[in-house]
Structure 1
Amino acid sequence: MCNVKNVLLVGVGGQGIILASKVLSSGLIDSGYDVKMSEVHGMAQRGGSVTTQVRYGEKVYSPIIGKGQADIIVAFERVEALRWLEYLKPGGKIVINDYAIPSATVLSGKEAYPENIIEKMEAKYEDITVIDAANEAIALGNIKAQNIIMLGGLIKSLGIEEINWDKALKDNVKEKFVELNMKAVKKGLESGVKEKAL
């Protein structure tokens, strides 16, 4: 079982997390891995929490990742990173989108959006990659490409760049968006290269 990798993707409804997970799973399956994926939508339609769990390796028996077991957490939104940190295993990796989506309670003024989330996480965790996926996606011409930029950062962090991700995109994305998403993966791979300054 030690060869199984546990990937937890977390964010907010409408961020394209499930699509990113499907592309990831598709690429891994095509490369011969056994893959199990589970989705938890929550209040996805209303900007609530969405998570997907992807486990891959030679043989995977369950799609569920327990607390303290995730090799990597990919957070598409800052607060969601905080919400799911207890699932990260010691020495695990974090890929975080430097992006805020205020919840209904924040928007109503009932609570404040937490400050300095990324700085606090960088102080506590060694292996953290921060990606400004929103601005990178806007530069590509479509803010919705954030999810695939984050997927690129995940691919880089996992060291699975050799997989045919163009094929995985073609198999899962509408034809008119394939070229944009290919550029987004490349942008994410480049973003994932950055080392944290000492």
Structure 2
Amino acid sequence: MDKVKNILLVGVGGQGIILASKLLSKGLMDAGYDVKMSEVHGMAQRGGSVTTQVRYGKKVYSPIIGKGQADIIVAFEKMEAMRWIEYLNPNGKLVVNNYSIPSVPILTGEAQYPKDILDELKDKVDTKVIDAANEARELGNIRTQNVIMLGSLSKALGLDEVDWEGVIKELVKEKYIDINIKAFHRGREL
């Protein structure tokens, strides 16, 4: 693949975005791609915005994705999808987790969580909604939402040549490997 692909992962601190990005980057590198990754934590430990930018292809010179350049955005939280939508290119795709994490202004009553975010996103861009939270609960661990989203991303990009199970075994703590492999395959099914 000569064309560089641009992937933006967005969400809220504590959702496992950094781990998902590391799994993605490692899998792509193992498959022979040149990969550049950039991450911004913000106030991640306080529920702040977290983003990672992953670019891969035959040769990648910079990790930065500009506005209108992302081929795909994977949003782990709905409001973060809306916040970063301007980075999606006109032919890009949005994969969004149907999950809400209220920000501090919402928790204090200063603002309200927008009600029709998913409809608004669908009106603007090619959007696939994944209910990763419920899927993760059914698997027995809500914290596997990130790997469910990664599985969905891998399917959307057609990344079948990557040894995803091997990458999960290498980067995930041993006691969580089996459930994360299940989560990854569940995401591919979605």
TM-score between both structures, scaled by the size of structure 1: 0.94
Q: Give the counterpart letter for 1:171 in structure 2.
A: E
* 1:37-90 CA-partner distances (Å, limit 9, x unpaired): 010000000000000000000000000000000000000000000000110001
For the pair 1:135 / 2:123, whether they are aligned, the reply is no
The answer on whether the counterparts of 2:2 and 2:59 sit within 8 Å (CA) in structure 1 is no
Number of residues of Structure 1 aligned to a counterpart in Structure 2: 190
2-structure distance, mates of 1:94, 1:85: 8
Match of 2:147 in 1: 148
Match of 1:80 in 2: 80
SS at match of 1:84: helix
Deviation by residue 1:93-136 (Cα, 9 ceiling, x = unmatched): 100000000001100001110111111211222x3211000000
Output the CA distance in 1 between the equivalents of 2:108 and 2:164: 41
1:176 matched to 2:175? The reply is yes
What's the counterpart of residue 92 of structure 1? 92
1:185: Cα distance to partner? 0.5
- Is the CA contact (8 Å cut-off) linking 2:8 and 2:52 kept in structure 1? yes
2:37 maps to a residue whose letter is: M
CA distance in 2, matches of 1:161, 1:185: 13
- Specify the SS of the correspondent of 1:21: helix
Could you tell me which runs of 5 or more consecutive residues in structure 1 were left unpaired when the two chains were aligned.
192-198
State the TM-score, normalized to the length of structure 2: 0.98
Q: Secondary structure at the match of 2:166?
A: helix
Give the partner amino acid of 2:89: K
Consecutive aligned runs of 4 or more in structure 1 exceeding 2 Å deviation: none
Shift of 1:14: 0.1
Aligned to 1:67: 67
What's 1:7 paired with? 7
Displacement of 1:161 in angstroms is 2.3
Opposite residue 159 of structure 1, the aligned amino acid is G
Deviates more, 1:110-119 or 1:10-19: 110-119
What's the Cα RMSD here?
A: 1.1
Unaligned regions of 5+ residues in structure 2, if any?
Answer: none
Name the SS of the counterpart of 2:134 in structure 1: helix
Once residues 129 and 160 of structure 1 are traced to their aligned partners in structure 2, the CA distance between those partners, rounded to angstroms, is: 17
Deviation at 1:162, TM superposition (A): 2.8
Question: Who is 1:28 aligned against?
Answer: 28
- Map of 2:55 onto structure 1: 55
| Displacement after TM superposition at 1:2 (Å) | 6.2
